[in-house]
Amino acid sequence: LRIADLAARRVALWGWGHEGHAAYRALRSRLPALPLTLFCSETEAVEAAGHGDPLLSIEHAATGERLAAYDVVVKSPGISPNKPEAVFAAQHGTRFLGGTALWFAERANANGELEHAICVTGTKGKSTTTALLAHLLRAAALRTALCGNIGVPLLELLDDEADVWAIELSSYQTRDVAISGARPRIAIVTNLHPEHLDWHGGEDRYIADKLALVT
């Protein structure tokens, strides 16, 4: 699902952290006339309202019924798809995805591959591994983007170019790669140990979400 595919759909954003803000800017840059609804806290709403966007509606209660009113909800990574309200909306046809899925769909070639992307995940060591890769690639005189969970949301780099993309992905984001229908040319899983089980809904789901990057 590419950003252009959202033009004729009812779209909402859920969450207003770094990822949510990056998603808003990406959608607005590509689809300036698209009405958007943002579900966020009252504190976050103050900042969002500061954009002065007449096509942005802001709500605080992301109930299942309200989420179900949208075709697509672009959610921040920290929001679990296993939350009861998300499950309710998904059962009524709402599609949930994150900025990672949108970026991968935008960047993939005709075969669904990201030719110059190296993606790293794992319970431990993924930040160190990704940073080391970026350091070595830059030492080889390759223009390298270090991004993803390591600090710079992918959608902030939507229109940037690089020789190589060194991308760290959390367990919250690896499932998004599978949702995008795209694949990195190189994917690395450093290790697996049960973590964030409340978000994933259990150890089996955690492992499956992590390995979605390579399976």
196 is catalytic: yes
149 is catalytic: yes
83 is catalytic: no
> Does residue 69 contact residue 11 with C-beta atoms inside 8 Å?
no
Which is the catalytic residue, given 75, 83, 149, 210? 149
- Spatial distance between the Cα atoms of 199 and 193, rounded to a whole number of angstroms: 15
- Spatial distance between the Cα atoms of 110 and 114, rounded to a whole number of angstroms: 10
Which is the catalytic residue, given 126, 193, 200, 210? 126
The secondary structure of residue 68, as a DSSP letter, is T
Helices (H) and strands (E) counted in the chain, each on its own, are 9, 9
Q: What is the DSSP string of 71-107?
A: SEEEE-TTS-TTSHHHHHHHHTT-EEE-HHHHHHHHH
Which is the catalytic residue, given 18, 82, 116, 196? 196
Question: Which are the catalytic amino acids?
Answer: 126, 149, 196
